[in-house]
Amino acid sequence: MIRVLVQPAAIDVTAEFDLHDAGGHGASASFIGRVRGDDGLTELFLEHHPAMTEAGLAALAHAAADRWKLSALTLIHRVGAMAPGDTIVLVLASSAHRAEALAACEFLIDRLKTDVMLWKRESFADGRVAWVEEREGDQRRAERWG
């Protein structure tokens, strides 16, 4: 089962774990990315492409399912305005054994950062607003997967 969502609503992590786990899996790996309140950040805004962001996530999910033997995969990205502590992204990957679940989970979050049409804008308490710059380390991590 592959579940891919792009949504402005808060990600209900507990409900998504339950849905993903229905039926049970030998091994499940998860990644949760949250908004950090560093440097007085008050809002993180995620801009997206109305069609292509979800298509990009779906393409990555199918690439993972082709590469590893997975029994379930959940990939959810929130868009719009978020506050510190909010969940930005949830990745759940399950397989019969740990190696495939862990690898698929890491692949998905690494490649998502460089391949999917999403842009972060930060607003701070002092009024500063800035678009987040790409990180060289993210590019290197993504390229490891070929």
Partner 1 sequence: MLEIAYFSWVRERMGVAGETVEVPADVADVAALLAWLSARDERGALAFAEPHRIRAAIDGAMMGPDAPLSGAREVALFPPVTGG
By CB under 8 A, name the one of 46, 64, 101, 105 that touches partner 1: 46
Is there binding between residue 120 and partner 1 (CB under 8 A)? yes
Kind of pairing between the strands at 87-95 and 80-82: unpaired
* 121, 133 Cβ separation under 8 angstroms: no
In whole angstroms, the minimum distance from the beta carbon of 33 to partner 1 comes to 6
Q: Which of 52, 136, 49, 66 is nearest to 108 (CA)?
A: 66
47 binds partner 1 (CB under 8 A): yes
Query: Binders of partner 1 among 61-90, rule CB under 8 A?
Result: 77, 88-89
Asked if 44 interacts with partner 1 (CB under 8 A), we say no
Alpha helices in the chain (DSSP H): 13-21, 52-67, 98-115, 136-143
CA distance 58 to 60: 5
Task: Verify binding: residue 145, partner 1, rule CB under 8 A.
Answer: no
Determine, following the binding rule CB under 8 A, whether residue 20 of this chain makes contact with partner 1.
Answer: no
Q: From the list 27, 63, 115, 123, which residue makes contact with partner 1 (rule: CB under 8 A)? A: 115
Instruction: Return the exposure string of 72-102: e unless at least 16 CB atoms fall within 10 Å of the residue's CB, then b.
Output: bbbbbbbbeebeeeebbbbbbbbbeeeebbb
By the rule CB under 8 A, 124 interacts with partner 1: no
Residues that bind partner 1 (CB under 8 A): 33, 46-49, 51-53, 55-56, 77, 88-89, 109, 112-121, 131-134, 138
